[in-house]
Amino acid sequence: MNKKQVDTLLIHAHLFTMQGNGVGYIADGAIAVQGSQIVAVDSTEALLSHFEGNKTINAVNCAVLPGLIDAHIHTTCAILRGVAQDVTNWLMDATIPYALQMTPAVNIAGTRLSVLEGLKAGTTTFGDSETPYPLWGEFFDEIGVRAILSPAFNAFPLEWSAWKEGDLYPFDMKAGRRGMEEAVDFACAWNGAAEGRITTMLGLQAADMLPLEILHAAKEIAQREGLMLHIHVAQGDRETKQIVKRYGKRPIAFLAEIGYLDEQLLAVHLTDATDEEVIQVAKSGTGMALCSGAIGIIDGLVPPAHVFRQAGGSVALGSDQACGNNCCNIFNEMKLTALFNKIKYHDPTIMPAWEVLRMATIEGTQAIGLDHKIGSLQVGKEADLILIDLSSPNLSPTLLNPIRNLVPNLVYAASGHEVKSVMVAGKLLVEDYQVLTVDESAILAEAQVQAQQLCQRVTADPIHKKMVLMEAMAKGKL
């Protein structure tokens, strides 16, 4: 029998397809890839009898999974890794002095560093929310990953430092409209770019940071253009106080009133929502993005993912930003999500390993509206997949009977450094731990230069002396 030629044939894998309600495990599994798509998934024996690969990848002693989804990340913030932890007012007392000194060169250096880190740890899709800046979209195209770019905007005036805690935010309508126009232009220009690897959402920063007129306009534009809305929702008591003071109701009730709670919305965090509000959001068809690491470090809270999922909602994982979470790594988010929820509910059965693995893959794509395209390894979907070396000491030994230990070890023991190879849309971006599409050393070197120059500018601004960690520095604690 003549065998069908395919671009890539991956064989002898511990294959996790994420099909069905579980992890879809196939022992000695194989995948055939032609172009950007998966054309066959079965046992190695079955596929070797029907296909021959131009390139054959022997995945013996490797777990093969769908590429991981980072549904909510601010990639520019990698430049600020580790400068704003262990504080009570993370934004105003630790992060703002750095944010005020960010430049386009710093932004792109941060994005390059974040995506490089995430890619090497198995992230193939990045839901990046940023104010558009030069080369943002171009880098995602260059490195070859999948991206959902959410150009973000708010209606704050350039000078709002006179704002005091408890006062209503001062809105600048012109700035808000201009930001929305720029975001819409970017979203329309980049949606479907890079042969479909790049899609877009509208990235409204938060409902409390925009006037009602612009919120209505953004919703109408998103509906017209077929875009989802990527928004921080009920992310803290400041947002709740602002919306209650301005509209007389809490954020979830306000969003429901203005027609925002539907499948078009990706709601990020929900940490200040009550259980009843969380259930309301889940039942509306809205997706949730969960950032356990960042919210744990910044606020000491556990996002309400368990309640959301129990209500039937889809949850995606996000790393948020490295000045809160310290890393851009979905393995970290899987472990923390499982552990935090077990601790919160005093129940070791809450958020088992297979559930958070699904949140990092197929359920995550359901939350962001891409489950028809990625998130599981099945015929007709894009070939986004990762190979994880199970011979790494922290993942050894491999046990298959009577209990298979692979999924618990991937969630509770893996760090991301065990990711051996990464494929996106049928193209290898990482092979045998080496990034193939960009110069890793150049990205690291430029990030170091830009970070040092940023710190020089921060040090020259007297505002830095008010940062809460300055006392810890003076006492030799940092």
Q: Model confidence over 332-387: pLDDT tens digits?
A: 999 999 999 999 999 999 999 999 999 999 999 999 999 999 999 999 999 999 99
pLDDT of residue 375: 98
Q: Which residues contact 329 (CB under 8 A, 6 or more apart)?
A: 117, 118, 121, 123, 319, 415, 416
Domain ranges of the chain: 4-65+376-433, 68-368
Q: Is the pTM here over 0.85, yes or no?
A: yes
d(CA 458, CA 94): 11
CA–CA dist 327, 389 (Å, integer): 21
Give residue 156's pLDDT. 86
Q: State residue 161's pLDDT score.
A: 60
Residues of the chain with pLDDT under 50: none
Q: What does the DSSP 8-state code read for residue 392?
A: S
What's the pLDDT at 43? 98
Q: What is the pLDDT of residue 93?
A: 81
68-368 in CATH: which number?
3.20.20.140
State the Cα torsion 251-257-258-261 to the nearest 10°.
Answer: 70
H/E element holding 386? strand 385-389
> Phi and psi (nearest 5°) for 460?
-75, -15
Query: Of 179, 156, 181, which Cα lies nearest the Cα of 168?
Result: 156
Instruction: Please give the CATH architecture assigned to the domain spanning 4-65+376-433.
Output: Roll (2.30)
pLDDT reported for residue 332: 97
DSSP string, 87-126: -SSHIIIIIHHHHTT--HHHHHHHHHHHHHHHHHTTEEEE
Would you say 424 and 123 are in contact if contact means Cβ atoms under 8 Å apart?
no
pLDDT of residue 162: 62
For the segment 34-45, what is each residue's pLDDT rounded down to a tens digit? 999 999 999 999
